[in-house]
């Protein structure tokens, strides 16, 4: 997938420009060097939580790694319907970043669209807090070994340090997720 390769290339390029060793970043984000190098070589998708950790270690806004541009707005960022930055992470799953242009944002609001799947979603973990609100369809949210079935208008706020993932049930689903990963050092 082209976007995966572009993101991986930006990660590698920024790390090399800053003269930071790949093993240092791998250690900081909690993966093996081989796994990290697979991210940089676009052999494996970089989980969004890991991408945010990489951006943090590089001292960058995640937008730089996602789209190759710096955020520009400091007071507000208006995103009209259908004009978020769309990123297709992997087959059947895409998100639209709704605050990509806001400098130093502490939350990442995204509209996530997922295609129907009977498969158990890949579980991921990341820092901070996460909020999911179903806009349309039905979403199964797995947290550890429990699945919550959410319908239009339902929401779930949870600790994303726990292994979690989402899947669409009965057709395509769309939900708003707001992730706050910038809580390090905050009370």
The larger pLDDT score, comparing residue 171 to residue 186, is at 171
pTM listed for this prediction:
0.75
Would the pLDDT of 73 be above 90? no
| Torsion sign, CA atoms 55, 95, 164, 155 | positive
Q: Nearest-CA neighbor of 167 among 145, 147, 146?
A: 147
Position 66 scores a pLDDT of 79
Would the pLDDT of 89 be above 70? no
Alpha-carbon distances, residue 85 vs 58, 176, 185 (angstroms): 22, 14, 29
Give the pair of three-digit tokens for residue 117. Answer: 């799947």
Position 163 scores a pLDDT of 92
Outline which parts of the chain fall under CATH 1.10.260.40.
2-67
DSSP H helical segments within the chain, as ranges? 2-17, 22-29, 33-40, 48-58, 62-67
Does 2-67 carry CATH code 1.10.260.40?
A: yes
Would the pLDDT of 174 be above 70? yes
- Domain 85-180, CATH number (from 2.40.40.20, 3.40.50.10800, 2.60.120.10, 3.40.50.720): 2.60.120.10
Outline which parts of the chain fall under CATH 2.60.120.10.
85-180
């Amino acid at each position: 997938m082209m976007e995966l390769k572009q993101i991986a290339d930006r990660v590698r390029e920024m790390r090399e420009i800053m003269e930071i060793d790949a093993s240092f970043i791998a250690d900081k984000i909690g993966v093996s060097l081989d796994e990290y190098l697979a991210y940089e070589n676009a052999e494996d998708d970089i989980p969004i939580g890991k991408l945010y950790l990489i951006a943090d270690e590089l001292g960058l806004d995640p937008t730089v790694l996602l789209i190759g541009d710096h955020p520009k707005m400091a007071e507000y960022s208006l995103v009209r319907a259908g004009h978020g930055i769309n990123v297709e992470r992997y087959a059947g799953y895409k998100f639209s970043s709704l605050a990509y242009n806001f400098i130093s944002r502490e939350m990442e609001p995204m509209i996530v669209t997922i295609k129907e799947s009977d498969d158990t979603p890949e579980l991921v973990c990341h820092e901070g807090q996460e909020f999911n609100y179903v806009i349309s369809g039905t979403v199964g949210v797995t947290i550890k070994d429990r699945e919550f079935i959410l319908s239009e208008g339902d929401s779930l706020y949870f600790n994303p340090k726990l292994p979690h993932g989402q899947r669409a049930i009965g057709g395509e689903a769309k939900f708003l997720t707001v992730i706050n990963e910038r809580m390090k050092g905050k009370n």
